[in-house]
């Protein structure tokens, strides 16, 4: 097997006194898409933020294409090609759609390819093309999420990380986003996808990782997802047939 494109080794991260990640290791191969899921507050977003440089690891190492990148600033990582689309589609409210996209291509590497990037984004999300000069804050929730992804795409990432792209969206828009992500994936961009919606993840990723208590407690490839689905339901709802649901979730599944 080829060396992984992105390699996270024994990552420990926290905020202030509170530790969130307690030894996370992940390999992402080129062209691979992995999905992260698990309960709230257990470290999914923290992991993405650490990879994108918003947080500094307490311990552990992140490598990209063999080179150590942990400890670099977000700006340097964007130049490397690591793009995170943050949760909650927070964009630049008083800028037009076009301006938002141009900010997405701010990094020198991406700025040169901005025309190409715009074409690609407008092809993927024709709705954004229609609303080019509209202010971001006047967009609907779904459109904003599309724009957030568009801004991410403008960065011409080597790795694209999407944090809960369907949060709070209606099913119809979810379907549209799913198709868009599939099209992006088809171009071969490796992705890390965080999502609560498991169906969404199963449709879009090659591998699923369950993040719990700051660790990866379960890792399965797509092929075995049939068993997976049942077990994941069990994880969410506990042992249905027992009188007392087992709280030791991780232990049960692995």
Residues of the shown chain interacting with another protein in the complex, contacts defined by CB under 8 A:
16-20, 39-42, 52, 54, 74-75, 78-79, 83-86, 88, 90-95, 99, 102-104, 106-107, 110-111, 141, 151, 155, 164, 167-168, 170-171, 174, 196-200, 202-203, 213, 225-226, 229-230, 232-233, 236-240, 244-251
Residue 27 or 74: the one with the smaller Cβ distance to another protein is: 74
* Smallest distance, another protein to C-beta of residue 124, A: 18
* Least CB distance to another protein at residue 34 (A): 16
If the CB atoms of residues 8 and 161 are measured against another protein, the closer one turns out to be: 161
Q: Whole-number minimum distance, CB 3 to another protein, in Å?
A: 26
| Cβ closest to another protein, residue 171 vs residue 188 | 171
> Which string of DSSP letters, residue by residue, matches the chain?
-PPPSEEEEEEEEEETTEEEEEEEEEEE-TT-EEEEE-STTSSHHHHHHHHTTSS--SEEEEEETTEE-TT--HHHHHHHTEEEE-GGG---TTSBHHHHHHHHT-SHHHHTTHHHHHHHHHHH-HHHHHTTTSBGGGS-HHHHHHHHHHHHHHT--SEEEEE-TTTT--HHHHHHHHHHHHHHHHTT--EEEE-S-HHHHHHH-SEEEEEETTEEEEEEEGGGHHHHHHHHHHHHH--TTSSS--S-HHHHH-
Q: Which is nearer to another protein, 27 or 238 (CB)?
A: 238
DSSP codes of every residue in 37-64: E-STTSSHHHHHHHHTTSS--SEEEEEE
Q: Which is nearer to another protein, 2 or 240 (CB)?
A: 240
Minimum CB separation of residue 232 from another protein in Å reads 7
Choice between 27 and 252, CB closer to another protein: 252
Least Å distance, CB 27 to another protein, is 23
CB of 22 to another protein, least distance (A): 9
């Amino acid at each position: 097997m080829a060396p992984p494109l992105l390699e996270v080794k024994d990552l420990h991260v926290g905020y202030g006194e509170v530790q969130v990640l307690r030894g996370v290791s992940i390999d992402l191969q080129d062209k691979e898409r992995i999905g992260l899921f698990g309960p709230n507050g257990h470290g999914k977003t923290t992991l993405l933020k650490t990879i994108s440089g918003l947080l500094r690891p307490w311990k552990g190492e992140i490598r990209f294409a063999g080179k150590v990148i942990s400890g670099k600033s977000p700006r340097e990582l964007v130049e490397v090609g690591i793009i995170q689309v943050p949760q909650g589609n927070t964009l630049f409210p008083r800028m037009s759609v076009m301006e938002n996209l141009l900010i997405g291509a701010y990094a020198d590497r991406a700025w040169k390819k901005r025309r190409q990037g715009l074409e690609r984004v407008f092809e993927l999300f024709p709705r954004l093309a229609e609303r080019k000069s509209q202010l971001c804050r006047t967009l609907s929730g779904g459109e904003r999420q599309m724009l957030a992804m568009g801004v991410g795409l403008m960065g011409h990432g080597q790795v694209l990380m999407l944090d809960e792209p369907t949060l709070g969206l209606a099913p119809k828009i979810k379907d549209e986003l799913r198709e868009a992500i599939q099209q992006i994936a088809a171009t071969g961009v490796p992705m890390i996808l965080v999502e609560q919606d498991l169906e969404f993840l199963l449709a879009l990723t090659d591998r699923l990782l369950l993040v719990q208590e700051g660790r990866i407690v379960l890792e399965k490839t797509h092929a075995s997802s049939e068993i997976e689905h049942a077990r994941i339901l069990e994880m969410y709802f506990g042992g249905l047939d027992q009188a007392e649901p087992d709280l030791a979730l991780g232990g049960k599944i692995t």
